[in-house]
Structure 1
């Protein structure tokens, strides 16, 4: 881990799938994880969830989104591996390969994001200017540290 100082204060760069423990000196009241956690393998996600919980104040809010199987990326996905990731290959407007942990149902988020207590489960499908590609559907989880 390197510390970079500059315009926005302290910035920490960590290795992919690294532990979050010890990165912050203060406890969190709010954690936002928008369209980011579905790139993590199951074991790293579980470790990070425990670390998020540990670094949170009692009453802290945890907000996260996960890509659903309704998302058009899913039709470009291969078989799920042992860590819950599927290789997704996009060709055309987007030319990329990524590995994504898709979620079938919003209720699956309760297990993924424990030990946070679920306050709200929802979903969204933002306006997609490239509608021919398909849905951009995601599930929403809002939880609290008790």
Structure 2
């Protein structure tokens, strides 16, 4: 019985090792992000006035890059991204619109899910929210983009 158990254990360990090696071998042609920036600083922004940043990237891999989803960490953020496959050498974007209700410093993250060599990439944006003046009027939306590259 001990001999049978030992054989089963050895075979199981060998199979697990083989499968683990197959999973870790990366596709050398897989799409790959090259980001212009991975953290954006909005500086000081007014309270309750939405601001937007576009994170630009280039596909430096050899296959089409597909962004399948962008997860946000709070309801104060709205995301958008290039929905079509980004061909090798082409550029795309992931946008984050932030509407701060609370004053003070902030750091937020979004997670980009894709078919790239790194399938989950975190992008960050930060800044400081300045308390809104009590004027009784509705503030206008302010859109801030980083420079197109």
Q: TM-score range by the shorter chain?
A: under 0.3
TM, length-normalised to structure 2: 0.23
Larger fraction in helix: 1
When normalised by structure 1's length, the TM-score is: 0.23
Larger radius of gyration between Structure 1 and Structure 2: 2
